[in-house]
Copies of this chain bind each other. A is one copy, B any other.
Amino acid sequence: MSLYTSDNPVFASFSFYAALLGAKTLLMALLTARQRFRKMVSAFANPEDAKMNKGKIKTDDDVERVRRAHLNDLENILPFLIIAFVYVGTGPSLGCAKFLFRLFTAARFMHTLVYAVFVIPQPARAFAFFGGIIANLYMIYAIVTSYALAF
């Protein structure tokens, strides 16, 4: 019997949080664009963009900060989406799965807030980062032990 149906509340929950995190990752591009336009004199990466906006090509610290936050999302959110999907197939309890999906989602929104929106001194960002990592590693452990014979 397939666990990947909208009747399974764990899959429904995964779908909901996957959409939320997918939206968050895509919107980082708009956050970068906002910074590029705010810093117009110095923050375009391509000659055609700089020309269109009468700006200059130069790297800018605030733009680079948002881009690092975006890359960090690719490094963490995209693996999560696949790991969490595979984890749904191991038949976890709804309570445990929902806790992990919410922990991860909260950690990643927090990460971007303290990294690229309101810059807050360390260890704020480290806590947010490890909150996400712990949720991922727990699910990886659950998958590997469920499927150890499939090596």
Contacts and interface: CB of A to CB of B under 8 A. Distances in A.
A12, A16, A19, A133 — most chain B CB neighbours (10 Å): A19
Interface string A85-126: 110011100000000000000000000000000010111010
Interface string A1-44: 11111100101111110111011011011000000000000000
Number of copies of this chain in the oligomer?
3
Interface residues of A, number: 64
Contact of A89 (B15, B78, B147): B15
Given A2-B5, A52-B123, A23 B147 contact: no
Interface of A: 1-6, 9, 11-16, 18-20, 22-23, 25-26, 28-29, 45-46, 48-49, 51-52, 65, 68, 70-71, 74-76, 78-79, 81-83, 85-86, 89-91, 119, 121-123, 125, 129, 133, 136-137, 139-140, 143-144, 146-151
